[in-house]
Structure 1
Amino acid sequence: MSEIQQITSVVRRKKYKTKKKPVYDVIIIGGCVTGVSTALLLQKAGLNVALLEYSKIGFLTSGSYTTHLNAYYDALNNDIVQQLDFDSLKLYAEAGKDALKLIESNIAAYNIECEFTPAESYVFSVTKSQEPVLDNIVAVGELVGTGAKYTEKSPFKIPYTKIAAISGQSTLHAVKYISALLAEFKNLGGYVLERCRVLKIEQENNIQLVYSSRGKLQCRKILYTPQTSRILNLKPFRFIPYVHYTVAARLDKNSNTAIAYDAAQPCHRFIAYEKDGDHMLAVRGEDHRVVKGKRREVYFHRLEQKIINHFNAEEIIAKWSYVYYKTDKGLPHIGAIQGTDRYISAGYNPDGMILASLGSLIISGLILNGHSKYENLFPAKADKMTPSQMGRLDEISF
């Protein structure tokens, strides 16, 4: 039985009496893809779930371009390739496929119109020095069955020294997807509080008291899915802020639609797709750690030059940047926080749809079944917390 089947087969509908202040089974802090997807899985299984979001649900999920679902070891996830052993890599390959199946099953079950489309996908090296990275990705892909194979075909006019095609990839509109999941969560009786800042958490016996800017709530378990600067204070976990840039353009009618990543460190992403009859392109990358003195215009200019040099662009239509957070090793934290009734799923990269969906599978399995076949891939690796660390976790402001 797959992880999805184990979770979705657990249907324990409960009858809740109407109360002014119910005790929720789970409160999820953070309305990202993981938060909404997990909330829906748990609510569908019969738990009573509340979802709290500091701003608007999905506000960090870009609706300005199509999101790539990369269920393989691309250049950005090279941290995973380098740090996991072979058995773990095989398990992660299976997990990536299960995460993609979760997205596909949600789209089918709820008839979601989110521009879900199969996509040709490629990873290529621009210089000889990048080739070992690409060789590593292809070698691991061949071993664990992710479908990475060398080819001579390229969808774009970007010079390369080597290029590999990756099978089984897709794209979707992330905001439309997450909005549909949120609507279904509400339809099942899930409770949503937006523009809600969590101020403090206390514990009384087995009940956790969540004090927020919208009032006090009670629950038995808490899931943290923070994706903003507040994540930096979630000790004993350590996350590092990076800036990610995107420039979007309209291409001429003869342009190809495909996805390509280079093997630079950090990598660049070239996402070419069709929208309302137009050929669109999003070029992303130029990631760097957040430090003072960096001028955004410099990085936007570099991405614009890639568009001008390698694509038939009719006009630049948008550019934006945002901050994301990684662990010091580049791997996310997904799992139970030792010694508590709390969980964390955070620290994804800018292509985090697959990892975010995998996070929802893992956390849902742990809460509903007490285990997940993928729980040891990216555990919440902090040691058992001291009383002072636990107190800091209670005081965290989201």
Structure 2
Amino acid sequence: MDNLNKKLNDGSITSGTNVSFWIDSAETISGLTPSKDVNTEVLIIGGGIAGLTTAYKLLKAGKKIVLVEDGYIGSGETGRTTAHLTCALDDRYYFLEKTFGAEEAALAAQSHTAAIDEIENIVNSLNIDCSFKRVDGYLLLHETDNEENLDKEYQATQRAGLTTSLVDETPGIQGGTSIQSLRFQHQAQFHILKYLKGLAEAVIALGGIIYTQAHAEAISKKGAKVKGYTFSANHIVVATNSPINDRITMHTKQHSYRSYVIAGKIPRGQLPYCLWWDTGDQKSKWVAQPYHYVRLEHFDDQYDLLIAGGEDHKTGQEDEEGISSFERYERLEIWTRNYFPMLDDISYRWSGQVIEPVDSLGFMGKNPGDDNIYIITGDSGNGMTHTTIGAMIICDNIMGKKNKWEDLYSPSRITLKTTGDFIKEASNMASQYLDWLSKSDLKNIADLPVGEGDILSFGLKKVAVFRDYDNKLQAFSAVCPHLGCIVQWNTDEKSFDCPCHGSRFATDGTVINGPAQTNLNSINIK
């Protein structure tokens, strides 16, 4: 197996074997290799947009920082986004009003608007060539939704202080002249990995130190172990999408979903640069009702790239609906061609991990019970802006300033008005432990094809097996080291995924998504 395939399999470049457009069209960004113990003011764990933005802002504020990343920069979920920059949130503003109150909904709108401005300011001040542009966004009804809900959302966005309008035509989409939508003005988009490259260069220029291929574990208020070395700090920021320093608390408040993306070329100039979303499947079995999201990205002098996402399901639970990942890509393509028939052959397919908070807002600030450990998580489908807000809040926290949004996004908050959804998600999570009692589909190791994995049962013992491309069998305990769920094989991204809390492991057992901190235990089998 060549070096590139190995890095794709172990999560160094990206957390799955499908390569996103961003990964494919940008340089790999690497840093130093840990070689000694380190002491600093702020240790940041995670080299995606959350970690790098926090590092940049703290360095500008005069702090000394060290950042460590499992793989290369952007190898986590940042490199698998679709990079919408928007204050049009996954959950409706009328839901936020009902859950938090009108003033808090207005704060949410204000913070996401400010996050877009912050990204634009960083792009301009650092002169980052990342195709940043301001665009309008259009929210249209999913076929299962009621027309009155669009008006309801319009009224709520107006109360929240956003610049929105109900329009009778939706530009760019098939039949759009008669499709009503809610227009969000002055949204934005960019090439996320080119943005990260600019941020990483700025962090180093300001005196920050970046380590890559540097796995952190044993995280505590004193620091962490990084590839066997002791990294100590006064403040620790865990910016890893899912918090890896928390065993239970945060994982009862948020849940992991898998979202699918396709991208294909269209002739340049045929569509306006816009963001499009639908309001989501109101009949879905999932608490986080899956929706579709679409945008354009510059490809070359002749073509733009149309990028569409959706068809979500709980991580490790695609079998709950009996719809394979292959079928999900097909369904996504059918939906996309219905609205954008000019779409050419599909050039890219990938999926990403989305952490959905039960009450719809992210968790950014001090980790519950800790005075010097901070987290950025629960980004939902608004990761680019949520993480930027998180960086702004945590920078103020560490500098001893009160941030006006910190209470709204506090990881310690309890939202009683979402108890029903909390119970549904908790019940779903608890039911996954029944996998201990179920029999595996794989009966004989000899039946396992090259390049595939599965779960074997030996009584109550569960073994994760993978046959590599050299026809060698690798085997691991199928028990997730986080809280003991049985992992499931993800045939699309070639990983073992935990259906309880979303931890994911590469084909060699290496952990590539938290909350698990350690790898699957290797097993010798005959």
Structures share a fold, TM > 0.5?
yes
CA contact (8 A) 2:141 2:279 kept: yes
Structure 1 SS opposite 2:295: strand
State yes or no: 1:237 paired with 2:266. no
* Cα distance, 1:269–1:199 mapped onto 2, change above 3 Å: same
**Equivalent-residue separation in structure 1 for 2:147 and 2:103 (angstroms):** 25
Question: 1:397 matched to which residue of 2?
Answer: 517
Tell whether the 8 Å contact from 1:75 to 1:133 is kept in structure 2 after alignment: no
Task: Compute the displacement of 1:26 (Å).
Answer: 0.9
Shift of 1:29: 1.2
| Residue segments in structure 2 that go unaligned for 5+ positions in a row | 1-35, 281-288, 415-482, 484-514, 519-526
Larger radius of gyration: 2
> How far is 1:173 from its partner?
0.6
Cα deviation, 1:262-286, whole Å, max 9, x if unaligned, reads 1123210121343322122111111
Q: Give the structure 2 partner of residue 317 of structure 1.
A: 347
**Counterpart residue type for residue 34 of structure 1:** A
Cα offset, 1:292, TM superposition: 5.2
Q: What is the alpha-carbon distance in structure 2 between the residues aligned to residue 65 and residue 240 of structure 1?
A: 17
Partner of 2:124: 108
Instruction: Name the structure 2 match of 1:300.
Output: 329
Identity %: 23
Show the 5 A alignment for 1:1-398: 21=37, 23-61=39-77, 67-73=83-89, 75=91, 80=96, 82-127=98-143, 129-155=145-171, 156-157=173-174, 162-202=180-220, 208-227=222-241, 231=244, 234-238=247-251, 239-253=254-268, 255-257=270-272, 258-264=274-280, 265-277=289-301, 278-290=303-315, 291=317, 293=319, 294-311=323-340, 312-337=342-367, 338-381=369-412, 397=517
| CA distance 1:282–1:158, change in 2 (3 Å) | farther
How many residue pairs are counted as aligned between the two chains? 364
Are the aligned partners of 2:77 and 2:352 in contact in 1 as well (CA < 8 Å)?
A: no
Kindly indicate whether the alpha-carbon contact (under 8 Å) linking 1:75 and 1:123 is maintained by their aligned counterparts in 2.
Answer: no
Q: What's the secondary structure of 2:404's corresponding residue?
A: coil
Given the superposition, is the C-alpha separation of residues 166 and 192 from structure 1 closer, same or farther in structure 2, using an over 3 Å criterion? same
CA distance in 2, matches of 1:200, 1:232: 8
Q: How far did residue 61 of structure 1 move?
A: 4.8
The amino acid across from 1:334 in the alignment is M
Asked whether the 8 Å contact 1:237–1:382 carries over to 2, the reply is no
Deviation at 1:246, TM superposition (A): 0.5
Which of 154-163 and 189-198 deviates more? 154-163
Q: Report the alpha carbon displacement of residue 319 of structure 1 after superposing the two structures with TM.
A: 0.9
- Assess, with a 3 A threshold, how the Cα gap between structure 1 residues 240 and 139 changes in structure 2: closer, same or farther: same
After TM superposition, the score normalised by the length of structure 1 is: 0.84
CA distance in 2, matches of 1:170, 1:292: 32
Q: Secondary structure at the match of 1:325?
A: strand
Give distance in 2, aligned partners of 1:336 and 1:130: 39
Question: Aligned equivalents of 1:217 and 1:64: distance in 2?
Answer: 28
Note closer, same or farther for the CA distance 1:132–1:342 as it changes in structure 2 (3 Å cut): farther
Letter paired with 1:333: F
Comparing 278-287 with 133-142, which one deviates more in the overlay? Answer: 133-142
Comparing both chains, which one has the higher relative contact order based on Cα–Cα distances under 8 Å and sequence gaps of 6 or more?
A: 1
| Contact kept in structure 2, 1:23 and 1:219, CA below 8 Å | yes
Q: In the alignment, which residue of structure 1 is the partner of 2:441?
A: none
Per mean C-alpha deviation after superposition, the further-off stretch among 262-271 and 122-131 is 122-131
Against the structure 1 CA distance between its residues 245 and 22, is the aligned structure 2 distance closer, same or farther, given a 3 Å change threshold? closer
State the Cα distance separating 1:295 from its structure 2 match: 1.3
Q: What is the TM-score with the length of structure 2 in the denominator?
A: 0.64
Q: 1:298 to 1:369 in 2, by over 3 A?
A: same
Q: Deviations over 1:209-236 (max 9, x none)?
A: 42121511111111111225x6495432
Whether contact under 8 Å (1:55, 1:196) holds in the other structure is yes
- The CA deviation string for residues 194-215 of structure 1, in whole angstroms up to 9 with x for no partner, is 1122221355xxxx14212151
| C-alpha distance 317-110 of structure 1, shift in aligned 2 (>3 A) | same
Structure 2: how far apart are the matches of 1:72 and 1:363?
Answer: 23
Instruction: Provide the C-alpha distance between the structure 1 equivalents of 2:413 and 2:385, rounded to a whole number of angstroms.
Output: 23
For 2:465, the equivalent position in structure 1 comes to: none
CA distance in 1, matches of 2:108, 2:55: 23
Cα separation, partners in 2 of 1:81 and 1:74, compared to 1, 3 Å: farther
In structure 1, what is the Cα distance between the partners aligned to 2:46 and 2:408? 22
Q: Which runs of 5+ in 1 are unaligned?
A: 1-19, 384-391
